[in-house]
Structure 1
Amino acid sequence: MKVSASMSAPAVSVTAATTIGEAARHMDVHGVGCLAVTEGGVLRGLVTDRDIAVRAVAAGLDRDDPVADVMTTPVVTLDAADDIHVAYRTFRSRGVRRLPVLDGQRVVGMLTVDDLLMDVFRRVADLLGPVAWSVLEEPPGPRDEIGPRAPVDGKSPPASRGS
């Protein structure tokens, strides 16, 4: 599976001259914790909610200062055509939570650790689907307080010992 299948698209972006206050409003309006900082469509950096809290607010910067003062650079990126396993390895080795996804030099999306968790959940669901159906047909374990297990194939379940 390709990175492009799991990324959020399009990535929300601002310019380096965008104010810290305006960047925070963009994050709020779009429900994201990270903005791509671009100039002429080329990625220049990232600004995260943590950058605003730690590098701006804690450092006493003004909300009218540009995001260029607090953005993270250089930026680790992924290519839209990369296999999702490249993303897993990159997150693990680089210790980041968000990665911009590029098509050439153009930012086309953002991949987050949460996106990968959704991928894991889908894979587990695919794997466990057949098991879940078999459990629904005959739940495992002894009879509980609710009563005996439902009959399977028209036959009554075996009696529980000690009942």
Structure 2
Amino acid sequence: MKIREVMRTPVVTVATGTTLRETAQRMAQHTVGCVVVTAGGTARGMVTDRDLAIRGIGAGLDADAPVTEVMSEPVVTVRADDDVDEAYRTMCRSGVRRLPVLDGARIAGAVTLDDLLLDVSRRLGELLVPLSWCVLGDQPGPPVRSPGKDRAAGR
């Protein structure tokens, strides 16, 4: 499976001159826990909600300080056409939980540890289906229809 199949799009970005306050507002607006800091369309850093709280406000920075004061750099990325396993390896090697995904030089999305956990759950489910057939002794039959649902649909 390719990273593009599990990544989230669009990725939320802020420019290098964006303030901590504006960055936090943008995260809240998009309900995300991280943003990619860009300059000229190129990823320059990553900022998480934790970075804002601990390295920003918690460290005494003013809310009008530039986001570059708290961003993590260099940016660790993966490519959209990489296999998902590359995201696992990259996270393990780098110790990060969020990776911007590049399609050429363009930021195409982001893949998070949560996205990979969902992928693991899906893969595990696919492995368990044939195993359950072995335990049950046969393959499952057609889906059972609920009489309540049929009545509610007017059937």
TM-score with structure 2 length normalisation? 0.83
Q: Deviations over 1:61-115 (max 9, x none)?
A: 1111110111111111101111111111111111110010011221110110000
Distance in 2 (CA, whole Å) between partners of 1:91 and 1:47 is: 16
- Runs of 5+ consecutive residues of structure 2 not aligned to the other structure: 139-155
The higher radius of gyration belongs to 1
Tell me the SS of whatever aligns to 2:59.
coil
Distance in 1 (CA, whole Å) between partners of 2:56 and 2:50 is: 9
Q: Aligned letter for 2:64? A: D
Distance in 2 (CA, whole Å) between partners of 1:5 and 1:81 is: 9
Q: Which moved more, 1:126-135 or 1:112-121?
A: 126-135
Identity %, equivalent residues: 54
Post-superposition offset of 1:132? 3.8
Q: Aligned letter for 1:39? A: A
Post-superposition offset of 1:37? 0.8
* Aligned residue number for residue 50 of structure 1: 50
Q: Aligned letter for 1:129? A: V
Distance in 1 (CA, whole Å) between partners of 2:21 and 2:136 is: 53
Which 4+ residue blocks in structure 1 deviate beyond 6 angstroms? none
Distance in 2 (CA, whole Å) between partners of 1:57 and 1:64 is: 10
1:64 aligns with 2:93: no
* Aligned residue number for residue 106 of structure 1: 106
More helix by share: 2
Q: Aligned letter for 2:14? A: V
Distance in 1 (CA, whole Å) between partners of 2:36 and 2:119 is: 23
Contact preservation (8 Å) 1:37, 1:45: yes
Tell me the SS of whatever aligns to 2:4.
helix
Q: Aligned letter for 2:30? A: H
Post-superposition offset of 1:133? 5.3
- Runs of 5+ consecutive residues of structure 1 not aligned to the other structure: 139-163
* Aligned residue number for residue 120 of structure 1: 120
> How many aligned positions are there?
138
Contact preservation (8 Å) 1:43, 1:105: no
* Aligned residue number for residue 129 of structure 1: 129
Q: Aligned letter for 1:30? A: H
